[in-house]
Amino acid sequence: MKKYLNITKNAIVLFIVLGMFSCEKIVPAGVNFTEVTASGYESDGAQTVQIDFTRAVESEITIEVAFTGTADYYAGSTLITVPAGEITANVNFELIDNGTYEPGVTKTVIIDLIGITGPGVDDAGFGTYTTYTYNVDEDDMKIDLEWTASEGLSSDHDLDLYLHNNIVETQSSTSGSNNPETVILRGSATDQTYYTVSHYFGSIFSSTVQVNYTITLNFPDGSTQSHSDTFTSLDQSDRTLWSISKSGVNYTAMQDPFGVNGRVEGTLIIKDSK
């Protein structure tokens, strides 16, 4: 009888132990952003954000994300399908260089993990890091030209932006009688040296005139560099006021790179008086 009781006792213990293992709860795979914040510039273009799982998912899931924020961007897909066995997934978006100069303003792209569906929905759950923020800073440069001329209203002073690399190519320009004249050198522009060129247009009856001007360079961080001078001009002519060497988001400027009243070779454009 004693032997029988011992066998029964052992069987009960074994049953309890096996039951504990068979009833152990499987912890869902934790779904988190790899990083919660990053930063860049408007010209950085396409971006990829990674989502990590604490372990591979056993069945396919679909993660739903939501895009918000103040930056200009193209949102990627808001439904991310993750096959069984995967341990990462990607969310995509693309920044837009809007050509608007906004120094000192940091804009954002915010991505939130908001839902999980699919066959493996019970095998995955959100972890701690479910919000990702991308901070976007200004990388454009703005050039302003204010002017007055001895001919008064019969004259016009335009501002163009050129590059000089054995050829002359207009990158951006203003025209008409705006004052000040403004051009934008975008952060997405090719890294090389650009030239700010002022074009003066007077009456066909005019002789040499004095054009008083102030040109201001506005850098991405909000700092400025400017100078005022007198442009001695014939009825239609131009002058190269600054060279601007661009390297990424860094800009280096040189005043009058071809001397006073000098100009980059080939930039003279003859237009009808306005």
> pLDDT at position 273, please?
27
Contact 194, 244 (CB under 8 A): yes
Statement to judge: residues 146 and 241 lie in one domain: yes
pLDDT tens column, 169-225: 555 555 555 677 888 888 988 888 888 887 776 665 556 677 788 889 999 999 999
Statement to judge: residues 176 and 109 lie in one domain: no
Q: Of 100, 122, 137, which residue is a domain's last?
A: 137
Spatial distance between the Cα atoms of 195 and 143, rounded to a whole number of angstroms? 11
- Which of 55-59, 110-114, 171-175: highest mean pLDDT? 110-114
pLDDT beyond 70 at 270? no
pLDDT beyond 60 at 10? no
> pLDDT at position 147, please?
78
* Structural domain that includes position 123: 27-137
Spatial distance between the Cα atoms of 22 and 19, rounded to a whole number of angstroms? 5
As a whole number, the mean pLDDT across the chain is 81
CATH assignment at residue 102:
2.60.40.2030
Statement to judge: residues 119 and 145 lie in one domain: no
> pLDDT at position 38, please?
97
Statement to judge: residues 70 and 124 lie in one domain: yes
Statement to judge: residues 167 and 248 lie in one domain: yes
Statement to judge: residues 178 and 197 lie in one domain: yes
Would 262 be classed as within a structural domain?
A: no
Would 119 be classed as within a structural domain?
A: yes
Average pLDDT over residues 62-85: 96
- Please, which residues have CB within 8 angstroms of residue 101's CB and are 6 or more apart in sequence? 138, 140, 141, 142, 184, 218
Would 3 be classed as within a structural domain?
A: no
pLDDT beyond 60 at 66? yes
Statement to judge: residues 116 and 150 lie in one domain: no
Would 227 be classed as within a structural domain?
A: yes
> pLDDT at position 209, please?
73
Would 274 be classed as within a structural domain?
A: no
Contact 164, 246 (CB under 8 A): no
Contact 103, 221 (CB under 8 A): yes
> pLDDT at position 223, please?
94
pLDDT beyond 70 at 233? no
Would 2 be classed as within a structural domain?
A: no
Using DSSP's 3-state secondary structure scheme, residue 87 falls into coil
Q: What is the pTM (predicted TM-score) of this model?
A: 0.77
Would 6 be classed as within a structural domain?
A: no
Tokens of 261: 């009243």
> pLDDT at position 161, please?
78
Statement to judge: residues 166 and 237 lie in one domain: yes
Statement to judge: residues 161 and 94 lie in one domain: no
Domain count, the chain: 2
Would 260 be classed as within a structural domain?
A: no
